[in-house]
Amino acid sequence: MKHPAYMKSLIRLLISIPLLAALFSSAALPFLFNWSRLYAPNWTETFAFLENHASFLEFVFAVSLVIVHYPIYLRGFAQIRNRRPRSESMIAVSTGIAFMFGVLPLILNQSAAWFAQSPLYASAMSALFTFDAFSHAPLEPIFPSYFHLIGFWTLFFALGDFLRAHAAIMLSRVENSGKQMREEEIYQSLVPFSGYAANFFLVLAFLCGLVWLLLGVSLPFTISFSLFVLLSATPCVLPLAEAVPLWIGSFFLVEQCVSLRSFRAVETVALSDTLVLGKSGILTEGEPQITDLVPEGITMTAFMSLAAAAESGSRHPIAKVISEHAIRLRAKFGRIAAFNESPGDGVEVLMNGAPIRVGRKEWIESQGVRISANLLTKDDQLAEKGKTILYVSNGKNAKGIIAYEYELNTETAETVRELEKQGIETILMIGEGTRTAKTVAKRLGIPNFRHSIRAADLVREIQLLQAHGKNVALFANLSEDNLALKQADCPILPMIEKEDPRQKEVPNVPEILIEAEPTTDQNAELKSISVLPALVVKSLVVLPSAHSLLKKIHSTARQNTVASFFGPLLALPVSSGLFVTLGSPLFPAPWLVALASFPGLLVTILNAVRVGREYYSIQSKKTVNKEKR
């Protein structure tokens, strides 16, 4: 199914093509009029009529383009209202300015050329300055047509929106889960520089007008100077500065089986310098395997009967394994009266009036359960081997321990080394004790680790890292560490091939919350969690390449954005009126604004060709390797 944003952007782009062609073709009307006089006399009157009404025709086509692309301008003014101006806000304001200077000649019912020669214009120019330094300023038209600028902005913005929406569709297909990127996430800015530049030029336009006012220029023309500074500071190519590298980069990401829930993830991944890893489902493969059963004071069958009864209501992977093991031993399942699960600690049920608990040692001890020295010794021995230990208790006494382990990902060590080469520090945070965590970290090749980390502790640890100036990326399961993922600067999720049917109503709902009917506050919390600006990868192995690709996309978008504002900075002396005494036009013509966009357009094209050639070379190597096989 196509994304609604993609269909909207495609329709707007298709409608814009004939309107843009008609708008830009109006510039050829004088040529067509002269051509008809020489070679087609029958069309002379028609072309003469069109040429005399060219400004009105441009106005009609420009208004039509603005109506078609009104969502762009709504986004731009919404950013200004929220005090977060971006590229859309600059183009929205500049379009309004261009309309003003394009419509005024129509309101006066005068062409720009006639108006420049009229006595009214001459008297206005003589009253413009109160000192003789500018008495020889050239009498250029004060109201040139700027409708073509509106066409340029519309063209580039329509194309940029289409490329973003198409990239979002390609990335959503990687997950194969039916999830699509929200429309507001598609238009998120990759580089905050455009926001800073928008604020800079807004302040600069105000200061320019203030300076001219202090020099004695009249208020109406002072406002005109300020508006022209802001107009010339809006590069036409700005919408493509981020959209082009994002679109080309999405082909690389799809090849690596990498998806994005939001384009904000490009910036968060590129700026991350610390990666926090959890063990369960991230560094492990397959289902947990029970390795040791140590009952104390009861038979093995009775021991597994207690454990299976306690885990009967849990959805933790180990609960299923314990139940299956009890069935193989033909253990009897007792009837339970109540069930309670403490995420990260354990489960508790009431059976025959006595509490049965299965969980971590610290939690079991906090419930007042006595653990024998023999079990504690066995706990230490198994922990040294990297096993995860669960205690089983009946009433106030521990009845034994269950040791289990996952098969660890053998490629983790190499992945960690590659991430370190890219400047990313990796930290392992798991819920097991010191001995188990040390053994697991050693096997995985991760030098830094934290032990006994529960869900609430993980949030606190991430906050401490952030307090030390770290940009933290967390690779964890959404169903287990949802609050920690929300706290992290860059959430990273493992890819799920098929969506859990239990989670259709609220995507990505932690499993522990599905049992109860969520309250209004819980619904709001879950909805905010499900739209995290997350990076989604197939496995930990592809994370180094994904980080490298996203960092390249971010740096390319930043280069394009900076280059887009380079031309407007060069044109600033002309647009601000500083070169009036040297004989330059008093106000910049539309071609000057378009010319100021040339450096950004050139850099964007060169970067697109460079990245495209890299993608083509990679594809060629893959084709050659397949043929060799």
- Range among 91-100, 136-145, 343-352, 513-522 with highest mean pLDDT value: 343-352
Residue 124 is predicted with a pLDDT of: 38
Query: How far, in Å, CA of 325 to CA of 392, rounded?
Result: 15
| Radius of gyration, CA atoms only, the chain | 33
Domain shared by 567 and 535, yes or no: no
402, 407, 412: which is closest to 382 by C-alpha?
Answer: 402
Task: Please check the confidence at residue 586 and state whether its pLDDT lies above 90.
Answer: no
Task: Please check the confidence at residue 180 and state whether its pLDDT lies above 80.
Answer: no
Residue 402 is predicted with a pLDDT of: 93
Domain limits at 176? 4-125+139-253+547-628
**pLDDT (tens digit per residue) in 353-372:** 889 999 988 889 989 999 99
Decide if 412 is inside a domain: no
Asked which of 270-279, 534-543, 583-592 is least confident by mean pLDDT, the reply is: 583-592
pLDDT grade, residue 293 (50/70/90)? very high
Task: Please check the confidence at residue 501 and state whether its pLDDT lies above 80.
Answer: no
What does pLDDT average to over the chain? 77
Query: How far, in Å, CA of 209 to CA of 229, rounded?
Result: 9
Domain shared by 400 and 468, yes or no: no
Query: How far, in Å, CA of 390 to CA of 399, rounded?
Result: 11
pLDDT grade, residue 259 (50/70/90)? confident
Averaged pLDDT, 90-118: 62
Q: How many domains does the chain divide into?
A: 3
Decide if 502 is inside a domain: yes
Task: Please check the confidence at residue 218 and state whether its pLDDT lies above 80.
Answer: no
Task: Please check the confidence at residue 177 and state whether its pLDDT lies above 80.
Answer: no
**pLDDT (tens digit per residue) in 13-48:** 888 888 888 887 776 776 676 777 767 777 777 767
Residue 619 is predicted with a pLDDT of: 65
pLDDT grade, residue 627 (50/70/90)? low
**3-state DSSP of 29-61:** HHHHHHHHHHHCHHHHHHHHHHHHCHHHHHHHH
Domain shared by 439 and 504, yes or no: yes
Residue bearing the bigger pLDDT, 213 or 274 = 274
Residue 203 is predicted with a pLDDT of: 83
Domain shared by 208 and 147, yes or no: yes
Q: Which two tokens stand for residue 563?
A: 């280059």
Residue 144 is predicted with a pLDDT of: 40
Query: How far, in Å, CA of 529 to CA of 549, rounded?
Result: 25
Stretch (H or E) spanning 342: strand 338-342
CB atoms inside a 10 Å sphere around CB 142: 19
Averaged pLDDT, 301-327: 88
- Range among 411-420, 523-532, 552-561 with highest mean pLDDT value: 552-561
Decide if 260 is inside a domain: no
Domain shared by 110 and 191, yes or no: yes
**pLDDT (tens digit per residue) in 422-444:** 889 999 888 777 888 888 888 88
Q: What is the CATH number of the domain that holds 397?
A: 3.40.1110.10
Residue 178 is predicted with a pLDDT of: 58
Query: Which residues neighbour 463 within 8 Å (Cβ) at sequence distance 6 or greater?
Result: 487
Tell me what percent of the residues of the chain surpass a pLDDT of 90: 12
Q: Which two tokens stand for residue 100?
A: 């003003």
Residue bearing the bigger pLDDT, 571 or 114 = 571
pLDDT grade, residue 505 (50/70/90)? very low
Domain shared by 151 and 233, yes or no: yes
Q: What is the CATH number of the domain that holds 437?
A: 3.40.50.1000
Averaged pLDDT, 465-487: 85
Decide if 266 is inside a domain: no
Task: Please check the confidence at residue 529 and state whether its pLDDT lies above 70.
Answer: no
Domain shared by 468 and 527, yes or no: yes
Averaged pLDDT, 123-144: 37
Q: Which of 539, 557, 575 is the last residue of a domain?
A: 539
Averaged pLDDT, 172-185: 73
Decide if 383 is inside a domain: yes
Domain shared by 221 and 146, yes or no: yes
Task: Please check the confidence at residue 524 and state whether its pLDDT lies above 60.
Answer: no
Q: Which two tokens stand for residue 528?
A: 């905010």
Domain shared by 47 and 161, yes or no: yes
Cα→Cα distances 376→295, 382, 401, 440, 540, Å: 13, 10, 9, 20, 35
Decide if 616 is inside a domain: yes
Averaged pLDDT, 143-163: 78
Asked which of 183-187, 235-239, 481-485, 511-515 is least confident by mean pLDDT, the reply is: 511-515
Query: How far, in Å, CA of 241 to CA of 559, rounded?
Result: 8
Decide if 436 is inside a domain: yes
Task: Please check the confidence at residue 241 and state whether its pLDDT lies above 80.
Answer: yes
Cα→Cα distances 269→16, 227, 413, 424, Å: 35, 38, 21, 11
Q: Which of 505, 539, 573 is the last residue of a domain?
A: 539
Domain shared by 346 and 428, yes or no: no
Task: Please check the confidence at residue 116 and state whether its pLDDT lies above 60.
Answer: no
Tell me what percent of the residues of the chain surpass a pLDDT of 70: 79
Residue 125 is predicted with a pLDDT of: 39
Residue bearing the bigger pLDDT, 578 or 133 = 578
Q: What's the residue count for the chain?
A: 629
Decide if 533 is inside a domain: yes
Domain shared by 397 and 457, yes or no: no
Q: Which two tokens stand for residue 356?
A: 């049965």
Domain shared by 226 and 325, yes or no: no
Q: Which of 380, 407, 434 is the last residue of a domain?
A: 407
289, 294, 291, 450: which is closest to 377 by C-alpha?
Answer: 294
Averaged pLDDT, 233-255: 87
